[in-house]
Chains A and B, each alone.
Chain A
């Protein structure tokens, strides 16, 4: 356990030492979105009856921050270690692939949830948010951060250069998170795009998470959980298999 604990603590300290970049900056970015969209649309858009646009937007922004930062933590830590060569320091010791996985997973989740919490706390300054179902909020935050931490682990192992990582970030992660109902309800989309959105797991993450705040959502939280739980488990299994096989790390 000491090996796992050390790697986990190291990963936490790694991002905390540059907290301006890894925690404060994403919180500020989310708040800028909130400021601009809420200012422009609050008077004009009502997605759910009785829920202001700012209140509607908040959970989406929180979840987007959680996902993007969970991904960023595991992926950037691994790619940096691989490119600078210091990954050797965690490959030489007697750490099992399970310990390796758990440390990177939990540290990435910690950063995602920390940024999400920061956005949420700051958001309370802008809008009256209710926490209708704290349990759902927690379940979707934890599972979703784990899913994106896994994607980050796999991307970090697969990518050979920062350009690969930028490709995943810009062509997979950003579209998945933006086209998922952060800024709108998918019911406001044309039928075709509604169907497409139902194939995006991030839609369920945000929808279930939002249900925890407003007690209203596009699909039921149980339905969302039925999608997210297996998706997260499959991503965990794929990451573990990648680590177990030594793919790219122990060629």
Chain B
């Protein structure tokens, strides 16, 4: 199957700055894919090359099998991009903005789909308002609508929820999830790792222009190998066999690292056999943020 996005050996230099250092990446059709990394890791450069806004120094990028340079028309028709910056044209209304954007993509009459987009994004009442009069959240919704006017199979969202309130964030994600269910491929960059964890099937982490992790979200979390069983115990000292397994202690709270939940029951059994009462118990699972911090802390 042709990947929705294929990135091969991608390099980008800005003078002496080496923004991308040989990135390889395939995103399959229908995936909800997260591209994570600290500021300056190369996420926006990668997306800019994908969208034709920046030219690669070497390497190739394809959208639905179309090279973004040689076959740029076909590639751009397949791609919708929600830019990171809250940009708008102050001369026009919401509807004019969407009509022009449709026209640029070769769609002369697109009002039915524009009306549907306006409705889905809660913009119907603002259709004839000038862009300048919209709140930041509303402008963000128009950016999403602009990216979707030509019904692209691949949608790129570059930090779409930065500075967006909780309500809009929820409704935005509900809409994007629906698009993903309907078959659109979604490529997301975000600094909110809980969003990536909740939404994305696969995650790539970029650091200093290189992919340092690329896996299914669940696999990344599993590989982190860090479920922590926290027990408040009525004892001052553990038997030697249990003490050897201890990961940490704070007062009467004892922490045991587990590779698997199945390890919990034998541990609890050992405590019962030793006659130690359990006063409280909780399990803390590693989240994507911890995985991210750990991977970023490693050398490339």
Residues of A in contact with B (beta carbons under 8 Å apart): 2-3, 5-7, 9-10, 13-14, 17-18, 81, 84-86, 88-96, 246, 250-251
Contact = CB atoms under 8 A, between A and B. Distances in A.
Interface in B102-124: 102-108
27 contacts: A2-B106, A3-B103, A3-B104, A3-B106, A5-B103, A10-B103, A17-B91, A84-B88, A84-B89, A85-B87, A86-B88, A88-B53, A88-B83, A90-B104, A91-B52, A92-B52, A92-B53, A92-B76, A92-B79, A93-B76, A93-B105, A94-B73, A94-B76, A94-B77, A94-B104, A95-B104, A251-B14
Given A85-B87, A88-B83, A93 B104 contact: yes
Interface of chain A: mostly helix, strand, loop or mixed: helix
A41 B77 CA distance: 61
B158 to A, nearest CB: 11
Interface in B55-95: 55, 72-74, 76-77, 79, 81, 83, 85, 87-92
Contact of A250 (B53, B79, B90): B53
A6 B79 CA distance: 19
Contacts of A84: 87-90
Nearest to B77: A94
A246 B105 contact: no
Given A84-B87, A86-B88, A250 B55 contact: yes
B87 A14 contact: no
A228 B152 CA distance: 45
B28 to A, nearest CB: 23
Q: Which of A2, A18, A90 has the most CB of B within 10 A?
A: A2
A251 B106 contact: no
A21 B77 CA distance: 36
B146 interface: yes
Nearest to A85: B87
A76 B88 CA distance: 16
B100 interface: yes
Report the interface size class on chain B. 20 to 34
B101 interface: yes
A94 B88 contact: no
Nearest to A96: B73
Nearest to A14: B91
A13 B104 contact: no
Contacts of A14: 91
Given A3-B103, A85-B85, A250 B91 contact: no
B39 interface: no
B108 A251 contact: no
Contacts of B79: 92
Nearest 8 A/B pairs, CB to CB: A6-B103, A93-B104, A85-B87, A94-B73, A94-B76, A2-B106, A86-B89, A86-B87
A122 to B, nearest CB: 27
B19 to A, nearest CB: 11
B51 interface: yes
Contact of A2 (B83, B85, B103): B103
Contacts of A18: 91
B54 interface: yes
A10 B100 contact: yes
Contacts of A2: 103, 106-108
Contact of B54 (A3, A81, A250): A250
Contacts of B103: 2-3, 5-7, 9-10
Contact of A251 (B54, B73, B104): B54
Interface in B126-154: 146
Q: Which of B14, B77, B101, B104 has the most CB of A within 10 A?
A: B104
B130 to A, nearest CB: 10
B94 to A, nearest CB: 13
A96 B73 CA distance: 8
A6 B54 contact: no
